[in-house]
Amino acid sequence: MGSYTRLDDCLSIRDGHLFIEACDTVELVQRFGSPLFVFSEDQIRRNVRRFQRAFEAGWPDGPVKILPAAKANWITAIQYILADEDCGCDIYSPGELEIALRAEFNPEFISVNGVPKDEDHIYRCVQAGVRITIDSMEELDVIARAAEELDRTVKVRLRLKPAISGFVRHSDFVPEGLVPTDLAAMVYKGGLTKDQVIALGQRILNMERVKLVGFHQHHGRHHRSLRYWEEQMKAFARDLGEVCQALGGFQPQEIDIGGGFAVPRDPFNAATDYTAPVEFATLHAISRALKPLGDDLRYAVLARLIDTLLSEPNPTPAPSIEEYAEICTRTLRQELPRHGIRTEGLMLQVEPGRAIHGNAGIHLTTVRNIKHITSPIRWTIIVVDTTEFWFTGGRYEHHLHHYLFANKADAPLVGKADIVGRSCYGDRLLPIVRVPEVQVGDILAILDTGAYQEVSMSNFNALPRPAAVLVTGDRAELIRRRERQEEVFSRDIVPAYLQQARE
Ligand SMILES: Cc1ncc(COP(=O)(O)O)c(C=O)c1O
């Protein structure tokens, strides 16, 4: 009988190898190549069902609809799974709209967010009968014109930006950690002020073909704590109350609280060690002070200081889906009636992105070189065949992912190294982390890479982007093939005069 350790719903270690569902990740790399994004169908379905159950448990007042944010993972096969789970879909762009329609989500539950929305896009939305979530003063005229010309009635919601004045802890979106969340949320481009929403609402209530059905808010993952969610819901209820009163006691049919729930192992901003500036200032000061005393002493002291540096992925799990659902629904049920809004029959919509896809995806990459620097300081650099340019979403959010070596998943961690990507930048994917004995050919698995990573890859260094695979049980299927080298140049045009100069 071999060894077996469960890491997650979809991840386990069996006889030293990392498995995703019933697939050995080492065999996935042998079959589909490296590097590779892998997604678990079962994990996506479980996450959706947990959101549905948890929000339904806290919201007996009316229907609950989960609208996973397509931007987090808009691969067509993934969107088919979500449509199959009877989800709605939060989309941001004309491209995401096409994917949502192709996956056959019910148009009533396709929420079209985004600013700006181009005129063609608005016409397409009106034609398709999807919900437009209005987020600018300019959109309404175009929507009204499209409704008239296409002879349609359009149901819209208005996106509010409530000031979360009750939550002033630092926003994780600002890595220096100095900006209070309420201010950071206020300067984000999404959402309208109360006055703008009231002005738009008053105009819509006088329109024939445009119907106001509800309101929306989304602030994103500024903070993982439950308090942040409690204060968001209080602020949303407070502003909704004022808006609805100004609209003559208007009662919405649906409200949408957006996304921003943390991934369970939460890699977000874990790369930002708030004590690091102090450590580096000390390093710099000591380095300068020792300069006149010669290299030997200086490097000996620096080596000791550098030995103390270590990055470790966040060890504390984020609150659970159930905890998030409980605080959101409890606060809304208390606060909405206090502000004159009835909850009976009110549909509650939620738009998680990262919390649906994050822990459903892993990235597999192979060790290509190992460089040991022995003098004047000791340092180990492990070069893998992926790059930070294929983790753009995560780099933007200063992720430090949990990781393990897929072919030696239970090996003891015996050393420290920088794990770096293949691009010509520093590409420090996992800087100064603990590692087992590593050899060229070992496979590194970077966990929780299911949201915002595969969909934000670029072609820096003219590198073709890797493939994506969907796993279900012991079955693995390609859902996005590896890019071919010639495709990287496929949009290039050489002007005729440059061609002619060669003839
Ligand atoms: C309107 C809207 N809803 C939902 C989301 C999903 O956010 P998250 O992935 O943090 O849950 C986003 C992300 O930016 C968004 O803009």
**Which residue owns the Cα nearest ligand 1 atom 9?**
353
Nearest protein CA to atom 12 of ligand 1, as residue: 259
294 shares a domain with 217: no
Do 8 and 148 reside in the same domain of the chain? no
Based on the fold, state whether residues 331 and 458 are members of the same structural domain: no
Atom of ligand 1 nearest to the CA of 259: 11
Q: What pLDDT was estimated at residue 305?
A: 86
Q: Are residues 69 and 192 in the same domain?
A: yes
Q: Which two tokens stand for residue 183?
A: 């201010």
Distance between Cα 218 and ligand 1 center (Å): 7
Looking at the CA of residue 133, tell me the nearest atom of ligand 1: 1
Q: Is 503 among the domain residues? A: no
Mean pLDDT by 10 residues, the chain (503 residues): 79 97 98 98 98 98 98 98 98 98 98 96 98 97 98 98 92 82 91 97 98 97 96 98 98 98 92 76 91 93 88 93 98 98 98 98 98 93 98 89 96 96 96 96 98 97 98 98 98 96 89
β-pairing verdict for 210-216 and 254-256: parallel
Q: Which long-range contacts (CB under 8 A, 24 or more apart) does 60-64 make?
A: 61/333, 61/343, 61/344, 61/345, 61/346, 61/348, 62/343, 62/344, 62/345, 62/346, 62/347, 62/348, 63/347, 63/348, 64/347, 64/348, 64/349, 64/350
Distances (CA, A) of 324 to 10, 43, 49, 468: 22, 18, 14, 30
Assign 3-class secondary structure to 271-305: CCCCCHHHHHHHHHHHHHHHHHHCHHHHHHHHHHH
497 within domain boundaries: no
First to last CA, the chain: 70
- In sequence order, what E strands does 320-360 have? 347-350
Q: Clarify whether residues 475 and 464 are in a common domain.
A: yes
Residue 423 lies in a domain: yes
Amino acid 358: pLDDT: 98
Please tell me whether residues 458 and 475 are part of one structural domain.
yes
Shared-domain flag, residues 97 and 19? no
34: number of Cβ within 10 Å:
21
Report if residue 372 sits inside a domain: yes
Asked if 138 contacts 162 with a C-beta cutoff of 8 angstroms, the reply is no
Phi, psi of 155 (to 5 degrees): -95, 130
Q: Which domain holds residue 471?
A: 4-39+360-488
Q: CA-CA distance, 242 to 245, in Å (whole number)?
A: 5
Q: How far is the CA of 50 from the centre of ligand 1 (A)?
A: 18
Q: 502 lies in a domain?
A: no
Shared domain for 134 and 194, answered yes or no, is yes
Cα 32 from chain centroid (whole Å)? 25
Clarify whether residues 378 and 346 are in a common domain: no
Taken as a whole, the chain contains a residue count of 503
Do 422 and 465 fall within a single domain?
yes
- Kindly report the protein residue whose alpha carbon is nearest to atom 16 of ligand 1: 218
Query: What is the model's pLDDT at position 486?
Result: 98
Whichever domain contains 445, its CATH number is 2.40.37.10
Our count of domains for the chain comes to 3
The CA 231 to ligand 1 mean position distance, Å, reads 18
In a domain, residue 400? The reply is: yes
Alpha carbons 146 and 119: distance in angstroms, whole number: 9
State the Cα–Cα distance between residues 37 and 479, nearest whole angstrom.
10
Note whether 341 and 244 are same-domain residues: yes
Say how far apart CA 412 and CA 435 lie, in whole Å. 8
**Within a domain: 494:** no
Q: What is the pTM of this model?
A: 0.96
Is 463 inside a domain boundary? Answer: yes
* Amino acid 325: pLDDT: 98
CA of 220 to the centre of ligand 1 (A): 6
256 and 282 in a single domain? The answer is: no
Q: Name all residues whose Cβ lies below 6 A of ligand 1.
A: 69, 71-72, 90, 113, 218, 220-221, 258-261, 351-355, 451
Closest atom of ligand 1 to 354 CA is: 9
Q: Which of 173, 354, 172 is nearest to 265 (CA)?
A: 354
- Residue 331: give its domain's CATH number: 3.20.20.10
| Ligand 1 atom closest to Cα of residue 159 | 1
